[in-house]
Every structure is written in structure tokens, then in C-alpha cells.
Chains A and B, each alone.
Chain A
């Protein structure tokens, strides 16, 4: 069987190798529980950052409200596990599906229009979702949240699931960028009219990507709830959560394939440091970072590394950047 044309052996081997190495870390290298937990969180953050990028980067529809999808997935999955005793994976899937459909409900009308309507709407969706979820305590447990069942060995299990989720996220990112479909998305981002002229249905494709992004986001949120065995609306659905995904994308490089994954890793590390050292300056410092990146290196770390590589004589293939 021939692999599809967008498939490349080298990056696939590198990513898979990395995943296997990471998967073997806990049993072989006996890393500390702390490191293991940090890694678990990083994996799921990577998947979430990539999911944000499918919309914000590939289509240029920046979302300031992805926490709503993240949180909704978490709440649905948590409620199903608590009230219906659904197995974890099934509950995650259900959470993801609900989040994806929810994204379509408000995204479909706003994505049809050109310009920033979608982005602005996401600010409202984020706020409204947080408010509604805080008040619907029969569903979400209100501001005191709700606790999920804890089973023995769950954390190690989640570590491996986390790797799997991140892996699927990376593969989807490659597929959404390199396949003919990815070319269509790029066309839509550059010029909706021209894309329409060559027979690309922007409405259907944008909706499709939105659903995928919501699905992945919901699953990540559900995973997060399982990881903490707890979920509450204030932090899960907060404004800061939403913009953390924006930061990861911008730091790593909006619209690049793996940039947001790198951005997620950097974000997790930097955030730990900021929160510990300058809790009051945290948002502002990220704001400064955002302004600087956009002004001087809009492709973030990916752009920076390309620039360095170019200095040493590396010539990238033209479709790698932007």
C-alpha cells in the first residue's frame, strides 16, 4: 500500500521515535512522578495548541474563546462519567463530539462572513459559556466544581493516552496542511473569492476544520478533567485559558505545522516560571511578548529558527513557512 502523497517518512519517523522514547520513559528511566505529570500535561497542551492552530493558523480565523470548547468537552465527559458511569474513553469521545457540535452552532454563521466576525464572536462565546456553566450547577457543579472517580494507576495510563492524543494531533496537523485539502485551506485563507472560483467550498471546509478543532479541543478538555479528577468552570472556561491557546500559537508560529506544539512546550515552561516569580505581571508580560512577536517575527519560534537556518545556508521548501 502506498502512503498518501502528503506523507513524509523522515518527519514521521522522528515523531514516532520521539513518541516511543517518551512512552518508555516511565517504566525504563523511572522518571519522577512530578516529571511524568508535567509531561502528561504538556502532551495534552500540545494537542490543544495544534487544534487551535487548525483554525487560527491554517484558516486565519483566530479564536479567543477556545476555552469554551475545552471546558464543555470536560464538563460533558465528567458528567457522563459521574452520572452515567460511562467508561472514560467513551465519555471523552462524547465530550469531544458535543464540543465540536457546539463550535459549529455558533461558528457556522460567523465563519461564512469575511473578516473578523468569527474572532469577535469567540470573545462573546467564551464569556457566555463561562457564565452559563457557572450558573447551571445541576450540570457543572457550579463554581465549586465536581470530582471524578480516581482509579489506581490512572496517572500512568493517562501519560500514555496523552502521548497518543498528541500523536494524533501532530498527524492531523500534517494532514490538514500537506494534503490537497490543506492546499484548499491555504487558498481559502489567502483569498476566499479566488478559492471559490477554482471550486473550493469554503463554507464546508471551514465548518469541517472548525468541527475537528472543537472535537480535539473537547477531548483535550475531557482528558484534562480526568487528569485532575476535578473540573470547575472558573479556571477551565476562563479568559486566561482561552488566550493561553492564542499564546502557544503565536509563540510557536501561527499557521506552521509544528510551531504551536513547540509553543505549547515553551508556554508550559514559561508559565510555570512566570506564575512562580511574577504572578501579578503574568498577563502583561505575555501581552508584551505577543506585541513583540507580531511586530518582529510573526512566525514566532518557527520563523526565528528558519531565519537562523537560512543564515547557515539552509534552503527551505517553499511550503514549509507561513
Chain B
């Protein structure tokens, strides 16, 4: 029993890395642009297919294809912003419209994936897919460990970027007050574009990482979008530490729920958690902080 619990805890820690990565992209865009990127799920799915395709066609290891996927997804994000999101009005009406618009983009991506890759479940099998390392009596799959490592590095880099570089500081400033930024000479539109690109790239990174853990099909990403949102709500906007802790909480609750409820209900766990947090602590567990 103790071993089983240890197993669940370790796997929750490793899973939390993935959750934090995918949530951070959503939170970044929402924090800066006040737009919920409903296409987040679509880009997670696209990232997964990109990694799978590169592996399937060229035998490229999923972890090696990540840089290319990041660049491409960044461009997709920039184009989505410049071509679509930018044209919407800001404020209450724009909120609804951006939801619907990005939802439309998601449907298009989904359909495109369905046409190109069919609706079958796909998996990426590498030589190390089934390898595991012993740890305190528990077995840890190499893939989970690698996913966790990549996530950790990404989040660390993001934190440094947002707090230490000029552009990162500009992004945080725009999140706080776009008008003042315009006055201070920050190119707000360009920051928006950059942020949208970054958030989209993070989504596709999460998708590419997820290929090591799950099978996926064109509908992949819907639950992930929801989980990302749960983490964002739990952790507050943009704080890397808050996101990490929230991702860990979600992963722990999900993993341990297996002990008390039937497994088909685990995907509803995140949702129940979301509602609970919204009722009890609408500002997130750590209050609202703006990026950093």
C-alpha cells in the first residue's frame, strides 16, 4: 500500500510538469491580452501530431523535434493574433467574440487533423517508451522523467525571461496597464503578438511532450484545455511558482482520486476542483498576481 501511494505521489509530481507547461501558455495569454485562447486545445493537439509526424516520417526523436515545433507554433500564434484576434474589439463584447473566434479556429484545426491523419488514436513509440528507472522502490518511466525535465527547464527559462530581460519586463508591464505602456513607449501591439506566439508555442510544447504519455486523436486537447484552465484559476495568473504548485495539486488530486472513485470519473475531478476553487477562493489559492 505504501509503495502504491509513493508511486502515485511520484507520478503526480512528474505529471505536474506537463500540466504546468500547458497551463502557463493559457495563463500568459489571458494575463496579458485578457483573451481566453480556446484554440489552446487545438494547438496542444497540433503539437502532438507534429511530434508524431516527425517521428513517423523521419524517425526524429520527439524530444529533438521540440525546437522546430516551438518555432512553428510561435509563428502560428503570431499569425493568429495579427490576422484574427487583433481585429476584435476590446472589452466585454470582444470577450465573447474572441471566445467564439478562437473556438472556430480550433474546429478548423481539428477538422484538418481529422482529414490528414484520420480519427484513429495515434501513439509515439520509441526505444525507451517502456523503460523505467527504480526510485525509492517505485518505478519511474524514463518518458515521464524526460517530460518533467523539459517542463522544468522551460518554466525556469520563462521565469528568467519574464523577470530579467527587457522584453519580459515589457510583457509584464503591458499585463498591468497597456495604456501607461503606450505612454511610456512600449510597442503594445507587438508585445501582444509576441505573447500570443509564446503562449501558443507553450501549448504545442505541451502537446509534443504529451505524446510520450498518452495516445491522442484530433479531439485531443479538450480535456487538456480544461485542466490548463483549472491550473490557471488555482494558481492565479502568470506566477510561475503559483502555476507549478497548482499543477501539482491538480495532478495529486487526480492521481489519488483513483483510490476512491471509478477511473472513468477521473477526468471530471479537475472540473469539480475548478468549481470548488471558484466557490471558495475565486482569486486563486494565492490571490491574483500579475506575471512574474
Please name all residues of chain B whose beta carbon is closer than 8 Å to the beta carbon of A283 when the two chains form the complex: 107, 110-111, 114
Return A135 CB to nearest CB of chain B, in Å.
5
Please name all residues of chain A whose beta carbon is closer than 8 Å to the beta carbon of B60 when the two chains form the complex: none
Inter-subunit contact A106/B267 (CB<8 Å) = no
Is residue B287 contacting chain A, with contact meaning CB distance below 8 A? no
**Residue from B100, B105, B275, B279 having most chain A Cβ neighbours under 10 A:** B100
Inter-subunit contact A62/B99 (CB<8 Å) = yes
Q: Known interface pairs A113-B278, A281-B111, A295-B87. Does A123 touch B222 (Cβ–Cβ under 8 Å)? A: yes
Stretch with Cβ within 8 A of A (4 or more), from B122-130, B169-177, B209-217, B225-233: B225-233
Please name all residues of chain A whose beta carbon is closer than 8 Å to the beta carbon of B262 when the two chains form the complex: 135
Mask: chain A, 219-256; 1 = CB below 8 Å from B; 0 = not:
00000000000000000000100010010001000100
Inter-subunit contact A286/B229 (CB<8 Å) = no
Inter-subunit contact A123/B226 (CB<8 Å) = yes
Q: Known interface pairs A121-B271, A135-B262. Does A287 touch B95 (Cβ–Cβ under 8 Å)? A: no
Mask: chain B, 96-117; 1 = CB below 8 Å from A; 0 = not:
1101110111111011101100
Q: Known interface pairs A131-B265, A239-B222. Does A62 touch B104 (Cβ–Cβ under 8 Å)? A: no
Is residue B183 contacting chain A, with contact meaning CB distance below 8 A? no
CA distance A291 to B233 in the complex (A): 27
Identify A291's interface contact among B34, B84, B222, B275, CB under 8 A: B84
CA distance A67 to B112 in the complex (A): 24
CA distance A246 to B63 in the complex (A): 38
CA distance A113 to B34 in the complex (A): 15
- The DSSP consensus for interface residues of chain B is helix
Inter-subunit contact B101/A290 (CB<8 Å) = yes
Inter-subunit contact A291/B265 (CB<8 Å) = no
CA distance A44 to B92 in the complex (A): 30
Inter-subunit contact B274/A121 (CB<8 Å) = yes
Identify B97's interface contact among A132, A246, A298, CB under 8 A: A298
Q: Known interface pairs A127-B226, A239-B222, A294-B100. Does A117 touch B233 (Cβ–Cβ under 8 Å)? A: yes
CA distance A190 to B95 in the complex (A): 11
Return A142 CB to nearest CB of chain B, in Å.
12
Please name all residues of chain B whose beta carbon is closer than 8 Å to the beta carbon of A294 when the two chains form the complex: 88, 97, 100-101, 104
Please name all residues of chain A whose beta carbon is closer than 8 Å to the beta carbon of B92 when the two chains form the complex: 60, 189-191
CA distance A116 to B40 in the complex (A): 15
How many of chain A's residues have a CB under 8 angstroms from any CB in B? 46
Inter-subunit contact A280/B115 (CB<8 Å) = yes
Is residue A84 contacting chain B, with contact meaning CB distance below 8 A? no
Return B94 CB to nearest CB of chain A, in Å.
10
Please name all residues of chain A whose beta carbon is closer than 8 Å to the beta carbon of B95 when the two chains form the complex: 60, 115-116
CA distance A282 to B112 in the complex (A): 11
Inter-subunit contact A288/B104 (CB<8 Å) = yes
Q: Known interface pairs A135-B264, A284-B111, A288-B108. Does A124 touch B270 (Cβ–Cβ under 8 Å)? A: yes
Please name all residues of chain B whose beta carbon is closer than 8 Å to the beta carbon of A280 when the two chains form the complex: 111, 114-115
Return B77 CB to nearest CB of chain A, in Å.
16
Please name all residues of chain B whose beta carbon is closer than 8 Å to the beta carbon of A127 when the two chains form the complex: 222-223, 226, 267-268, 271
Q: Which A residues from 283 to 319 make CB contacts under 8 A with B?
A: 283-291, 294-295, 298
Please name all residues of chain B whose beta carbon is closer than 8 Å to the beta carbon of A131 when the two chains form the complex: 264-265, 267-268
Is residue A211 contacting chain B, with contact meaning CB distance below 8 A? no
CA distance A297 to B95 in the complex (A): 16
Q: Which B residues from 128 to 166 make CB contacts under 8 A with A?
A: none
Is residue A102 contacting chain B, with contact meaning CB distance below 8 A? no
Is residue B282 contacting chain A, with contact meaning CB distance below 8 A? yes
Identify B104's interface contact among A113, A123, A132, A287, CB under 8 A: A287
Return B1 CB to nearest CB of chain A, in Å.
27
Is residue A110 contacting chain B, with contact meaning CB distance below 8 A? yes
Inter-subunit contact B274/A284 (CB<8 Å) = no
Q: Which residue of A lies closest to B275 (CB)?
A: A109
Q: Which residue of B lies closest to A287 (CB)?
A: B107
Q: Which residue of B lies closest to A190 (CB)?
A: B92
CA distance A285 to B114 in the complex (A): 13
Please name all residues of chain A whose beta carbon is closer than 8 Å to the beta carbon of B100 when the two chains form the complex: 62, 246, 250, 254, 290, 294
Given contacts A127-B223, A287-B103, 8 further A-B contacts (CB under 8 A): A113-B278, A117-B233, A123-B226, A246-B103, A282-B111, A284-B107, A291-B108, A298-B97
25 contacts between A and B (CB under 8 A): A60-B95, A62-B99, A62-B100, A110-B278, A113-B278, A115-B34, A117-B233, A124-B270, A124-B271, A127-B226, A127-B271, A131-B264, A239-B219, A239-B222, A246-B103, A280-B114, A281-B111, A281-B115, A283-B110, A283-B111, A288-B108, A291-B84, A291-B104, A294-B104, A295-B87
| The 5 nearest A-B residue pairs measured at CB | A284-B111, A287-B107, A290-B104, A124-B271, A128-B268
